[in-house]
Amino acid sequence: MPMSKDRKKITFNALLNHKAHNYKPMQIEVEKVIPLYGKRFEQMRDHPLEDAPEIIENRDLMYREGNTAHCILFLDANGNDGILVEAEGADYARKSQFISNARAIVAQNELTPAEQQLHQEMKKMADKIAGLAHRGEHHIYFGNLHESEIIKSLIVKSVAEMFPKEVTLQM
């Protein structure tokens, strides 16, 4: 059923498998993220069965252990997508998967727990501000919001998590 013309469409890149037997995933551990520059990402994406120097150089990082695949994630340095590879000792992407928006997955994984909590608190605060604005309040002071103290404390905690334990930050 086609969507109406006035609705915003969701768009992203993906692979569609023909008559897939199942979609049972396995545990993936990304051992290394490697950005591919220029046309290199397109070459790997369009010709995954060709030998790749990036795979050869990192062959020892790719293996399977039980239901866990240890892989390399190749990121499009100029875009958002990636290619997940477990070469099984080969010089090419013997087992691979195109990963839409892989950059967002990498970015999310790099956030500390406090940064993730800070992000959630900021969303709550934005919702509260939107509610106040909807009720006619157009001058909202950050300091008057209950969440402001939580956010200040999470900012300090987020910054502190970026340093060794010997460094302490206080508000």
Same domain, residue pair 99 and 44: yes
The residues with which 63 forms a beta bridge, in sequence order, are 70
121-159 residue pLDDT tens? 888 878 888 888 888 888 887 777 766 677 777 777 777
Total number of domains constituting the chain: 2
Enumerate residues 6+ apart whose C-beta is below 8 A from 91.
51, 52, 55, 56, 59
Q: Does residue 1 belong to any structural domain of this protein?
A: no
The strand ranges marked E within 1-78 are: 27-36, 63-65, 68-76
Q: Is the model's pTM score more than 0.75?
A: no
Residue 47 sits in the same domain as residue 80: yes
> 39 with 75, same domain?
yes
pLDDT (tens digit, 9 = 90+) per residue, 1-17? 555 567 788 888 888 88
The boundaries of the domain holding residue 63 are 27-108
Of the pLDDT bands very low, low, confident and very high (cuts 50, 70, 90), residue 167 is low
